[in-house]
Amino acid sequence: MEIVERPAPPTGLRRLLWRLPIRLYRMGLGPLLGRRIMLLTHTGRVSGRPRQVVVEVVQKDGDGYVAASGFGPRADWYRNVMATPGVTLQIAGKKIQATAAPIATDEGAEIMARYAPRHPAAARQLCKLMGFAVDGSVEDYRQVGRQIPFVRFTPGTSSENPG
């Protein structure tokens, strides 16, 4: 694994395109995106207002849903959920109150190593988008998983949940 260039979060037209799936959810068409794409409603750490982002579910297990912050720890949604962990998830047509918690680096590495063989094309594309050159080996994906923060969203109510 080689870090080619870590991209900044999208701006301008790129940001508008990234946010298109949010509009689909708002129009009631979220189920068209499947169960791997979720709408995350969280609280802005500065404004205190509800914010939304669409992220990929990289793993669902008995403890909840896991997402990766592809733009690293400086992504707004990541910083927001670390500041105020009470969130609302919408996956397909189902809304879930949840609490966000960071995942340890070694566990994130293993999650990425398991994700890549299940979704090889998506894993390659995501790594490229995040600025990593990978050779396709599990160890390369494990190294990528050590470089990006993962978050577990555990279902359950919280008085701080937005929306």
Comparing 11 with 49, which gets the higher pLDDT? 49
* Residue 114 phi, psi dihedral angles, 5° rounding: -80, -35
Per-residue pLDDT at 29 exceeds 70: yes
- Do residues 97 and 158 touch, judged by C-beta distance below 8 A? yes
Residue 162 lies in a domain: no
Residue 98 inside a domain? The answer is yes
Name the pLDDT band for 161 (thresholds 50, 70, 90). Answer: low
Residue 108 main-chain phi, psi, to 5 deg: -60, -40
pLDDT at 155 over 80: yes
What CATH number should be reported for the domain holding residue 116?
2.30.110.10
Q: Is the pTM of this model over 0.75?
A: yes
For residue 160, tell me if it sits in a domain.
Answer: no
Domain assignment of residue 81, yes or no:
yes
Average of per-residue pLDDT across 15-20: 81
Q: From the CB of residue 120, how many other CB atoms can be counted at a distance below 10 Å? A: 12
| 163 within domain boundaries | no
Q: What is the pLDDT of residue 21?
A: 92
- Please give the residue range of the domain that contains residue 74: 2-155
**Which residue would you say has higher pLDDT here, 74 or 16?**
74
Residue 20: inside a domain: yes
Q: For residue range 51-96, list pLDDT tens digits in order.
A: 999 999 999 999 899 999 988 898 999 999 999 999 999 998 899 9
pLDDT tens digits, residue range 95-138? 999 999 999 999 999 999 999 999 999 999 889 888 899 999 99
Q: Quick check: is 133 in a domain?
A: yes
Q: How many domains in the chain?
A: 1
Q: Where are the alpha helices (DSSP H) in the chain?
A: 12-18, 20-26, 76-83, 105-118, 120-130, 138-147
* 31 occurs within a structural domain: yes
- CA dihedral sign of residues 103, 7, 86, 157: negative
Determine the distance from the C-alpha atom of residue 115 to the mean position of all C-alpha atoms in its chain, rounded to a whole number.
Answer: 13
Q: What does the pLDDT read at residue 71? A: 85
